[in-house]
């Protein structure tokens, strides 16, 4: 069986962007692949976090994974910080990474822009992400579009290590959805939908109340035209809404264009909101049940044990190759 691994940062509310670009793929792939999914809490601390909030968001994200349909009997769900091998291989990867490679990363440029003091962790973040992936001999890494550069670096580092120390790591490949690999802000069709957007009207959180979802879609930016057609260059906002609608309704974009031919934006946005509510409401109910059940801790502990067994073996192999004296 091929192996799949991915992770999400517990750095705020999960958006439908994360759901469409990432989680939805995870849920599909767990049936076919040997799957490892994690909450990357060690990545979250590359920007300042309040400890209580970080703990809450970490548990919340683990519950969101389950609520969206990750089945702990099929996939291994764990917290990155509970598998110490990530930190060790992360360091080993950092020593193989060139400054120039990290300076080129657009996520680093975005997150550090205009900041007075920039933590070193934010800079070396991609080396840790490479370690995350390589520890599990991952074949496929399901992610959204914004992670392609990080994945390229991961492949470069795997090849570099293999070239220098002998064949050790599987060189992974990114796996992207056809529709929705980059969901845009509801208020600006040229900006990525992001959970850290200061204006909550720009994103739909997976845990937004149905009425909030309806309001956000009704206020979503559109253009001054009235045609509902997919045209990313000239109608970025409408195209983005069509992608979201397609994912949540199971209809193709072509089918939706046909369905709304000759209709204005009003009905389109209203029915889109209902399609999203229909999918998110049951997820929210399951989420509340999981949080109330108190079973999360035990489940995550089991996940970390399973993940550690794989990660520790790979780490040992890599340490041996690099020249460490093993106990
Ligand atoms: P993060 O936490 O920013 O996002 C989690 C996943 O959601 C995808 N995503 C989107 N997809 C479509 N449209 C959007 N607007 C959108 N916003 C986010 C992201 O592409 C990602 O797949 N560096 C990673 C976390 C990470 C990781 C890893 C991923 C750490 N280690 C190992 C895979 C494998 C990140 O910051 O994702």
Say which residues have a Cβ less than 8 Å from residue 81's Cβ, sequence separation at least 6: 41, 42
Query: What value of ipTM does the predicted structure carry?
Result: 0.99
CB of 72 within 8 A of CB of 41? Answer: no
pLDDT at position 1 over 90: yes
Establish whether 74 is an annotated binding residue: no
Residues with CB under 6 A from ligand 1: 5-9, 17-18, 20-22, 40, 43, 129, 132-133, 141, 143-144, 146-147, 150, 181-183, 192-193
Under a CB-based contact definition with an 8 Å cutoff, are residues 140 and 147 in contact?
Answer: no
| pTM, entire model | 0.96
Query: 74, 111, 215, 306: which one is catalytic?
Result: 111
From the centroid of its chain, how far is CA 188?
21
Question: Which tens digit of pLDDT belongs to each residue from 72-113?
Answer: 999 999 999 999 999 999 999 999 999 999 999 999 999 899
184-205 mean pLDDT: 94
Task: Indicate the top mutation candidate among 9, 46, 60, 143 to test ligand 1's pocket, ranked by most ligand atoms within 8 A of CB.
Answer: 143
3-state secondary structure of 52: helix
Catalytic residue flag (residue 258): no
Q: Which two tokens stand for residue 112?
A: 């550090």
Confidence of residue 196 (pLDDT cuts 50, 70, 90): confident
How does residue 154 score in pLDDT terms, banded at 50, 70 and 90?
very high
Catalytic residue, candidates 1, 53, 191, 195 = 195
């Amino acid at each position: 069986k091929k192996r799949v691994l991915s992770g999400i940062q517990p750095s705020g509310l999960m958006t439908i962007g994360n759901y469409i670009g990432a989680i939805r793929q995870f849920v599909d792939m767990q049936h076919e692949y040997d799957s490892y999914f994690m909450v990357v809490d060690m990545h979250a601390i590359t920007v300042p976090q309040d400890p209580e909030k970080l703990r809450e968001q970490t548990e919340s994200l683990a519950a969101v994974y389950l609520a969206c349909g990750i089945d702990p009997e099929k996939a291994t769900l764990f917290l990155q910080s509970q598998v110490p091998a990530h930190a060790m291989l992360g360091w080993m990867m950092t020593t193989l990474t060139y400054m120039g490679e990290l300076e080129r990363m657009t996520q680093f440029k975005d997150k550090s822009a205009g900041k007075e003091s920039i933590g070193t962790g934010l800079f070396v973040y991609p080396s840790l992400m490479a370690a995350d992936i390589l520890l599990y001999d991952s074949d496929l890494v399901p992610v959204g579009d914004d992670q392609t550069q990080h994945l390229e670096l991961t492949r470069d580092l795997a090849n570099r290590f293999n070239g220098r120390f002998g064949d050790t790591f599987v060189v992974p490949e990114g796996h992207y959805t056809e529709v929705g690999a980059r969901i845009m802000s509801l208020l600006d069709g040229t900006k990525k939908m992001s959970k850290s957007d200061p204006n909550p009207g720009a994103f739909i959180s997976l845990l937004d109340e149905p009425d909030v979802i309806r309001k956000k879609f009704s206020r979503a930016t559109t253009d001054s035209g009235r045609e509902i057609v997919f045209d990313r260059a000239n109608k970025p906002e409408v195209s983005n809404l069509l992608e979201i609608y397609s994912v949540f309704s199971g209809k193709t974009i072509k089918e939706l264009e046909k369905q709304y031919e000759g209709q204005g934006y009003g009905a389109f946005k209203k029915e889109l909101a209902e399609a999203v509510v229909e999918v998110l409401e049951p997820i929210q109910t399951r989420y509340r049940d999981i949080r109330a059940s108190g079973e999360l801790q035990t489940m995550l502990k089991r996940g970390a044990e399973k993940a550690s067994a794989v990660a520790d073996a790979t780490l040992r192999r890599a340490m041996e190759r690099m020249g460490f004296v093993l106990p």
